[in-house]
Amino acid sequence: MVASRLSPTKEPMAAMGFSRAWFLAIQAGVKRLTLLDVRPVRFVLVGVTGVGVNTLVVWISTAGLHLQTTVAGVLAAALSTLTNFTLNNFFTWSDRRSSDLRVVAGRLVRYYVTTGGGNLIYLAVLTVLVEILGIRLFLANFVAIGTGGVFNYWMHNVWTWGKSRRR
């Protein structure tokens, strides 16, 4: 059995031939990676969930409850927006969550206002792309959803769950 040249108190990385400076540089890089903003990915996942909720509510409202399409659509939009707010509050912006009912109510109002603005942007972009520029509906819809989604994410990040002041 060969005795180790390093005492048990030496760092394991040094035992493998790596310098302390190298280890600290790697450690700093890993910390930066863990600080990458995964919030946009979470926002998209919540949005996909919202599409599912919206579709389910429209289907149940029209096929099961025999509501008019417009009424079903309004109900679906309102409920999917509420579920998206809840999921975003607990998942996307969990680090900014508050238990103060006034804060949550204010955020909910700002969420509906922002989402309404995003919907108007979506409709404007969709209309311009299809009716004026002649872009195919499927592609135009995808671009319009992305444009409205970027607006919604930005506004929710800086206004609905903004860090600048306590809400």
- At residue 167 the predicted structure's pLDDT band, cuts being 50, 70 and 90, is very low
Taking 80 as the threshold, does the pLDDT of residue 72 lie above it?
Answer: yes
- Chain centroid to Cα 81, Å, comes to 13
**CA dist., res. 45 & res. 130, Å (int):** 27
pLDDT of amino acid 105: 96
**Higher-confidence residue: 26 or 42?**
42
pLDDT of amino acid 153: 97
**Higher-confidence residue: 154 or 166?**
154
Domain edges within the chain: 18-97, 98-167
3-class DSSP string for the chain: CCCCCCCCCCCHHHHCCCCHHHHHHHHHHHHHHHCCCCHHHHHHHHHHHHHHHHHHHHHHHHHHCCCCHHHHHHHHHHHHHHHHHHHHHHHHCHHHCCCCHHHHHHHHHHHHHHHHHHHHHHHHHHHHHHHHCCCCHHHHHHHHHHHHHHHHHHHHHHHHCCCCCCC
Mean pLDDT of all residues in 11-37: 63
Taking 90 as the threshold, does the pLDDT of residue 17 lie above it?
Answer: no
Mean pLDDT of all residues in 57-79: 93
Mean pLDDT of all residues in 121-136: 94
pLDDT of amino acid 163: 78
Taking the whole predicted model, whether its pTM rises above 0.75 is answered as no
Taking 80 as the threshold, does the pLDDT of residue 130 lie above it?
Answer: yes
**Higher-confidence residue: 115 or 19?**
115
Q: How far apart are the first and last CA of the chain?
A: 65
Mean pLDDT of all residues in 35-44: 86
